[in-house]
Amino acid sequence: MKRILTVDDSASVRQMVSFTSRKADYEVVEAVDGKDGLAKVSSGKFDLIVTDLNMPHVDGIQMITAVRKLPGYSFIPILMLTPESQAEKKDAGRKAGATGWIVKPFNADQLIAVVQKLVKEGLRC
């Protein structure tokens, strides 16, 4: 079973991503912010990370930058799921290593379509 880490300071968003992903037969681990997300990435392997941008302690950009430096995470897909849609924010996400971007609020079918595409194309190092 493919594993997804969802990182968001909003419990309702984490629950929605988890519910939608589990319904599509993915195992999901939740993290409450970027700091928690980094701890969970360090303790296990994931096939995809879904993260918010604006979070306390460690934001999404900082988390992605740190994840990309970890062994085995150079090519793991990372999806930004955030209300931010400005070009400069997307560019910062891409420069940090984000693979894709979905703007909140999101459609469950859209999320699963993107998750399936990214997990299928993702490479493990």
Q: Over the stretch 65-113, which tens digit does the pLDDT of each residue have? A: 999 999 889 889 999 998 888 889 999 999 999 999 998 888 899 999 9
The per-residue pLDDT for 125 is: 33
Ordered domains of the chain (ranges, CATH): 3-121 (3.40.50.2300)
The per-residue pLDDT for 84 is: 83
**Cα–Cα distances in angstroms (integers) from residue 61 to residues 2, 23, 79, 86, 92, in the given order:** 24, 28, 11, 14, 7
pTM score: 0.92
The per-residue pLDDT for 22 is: 95
Q: Which tokens in the block code for residue 85?
A: 């849609």
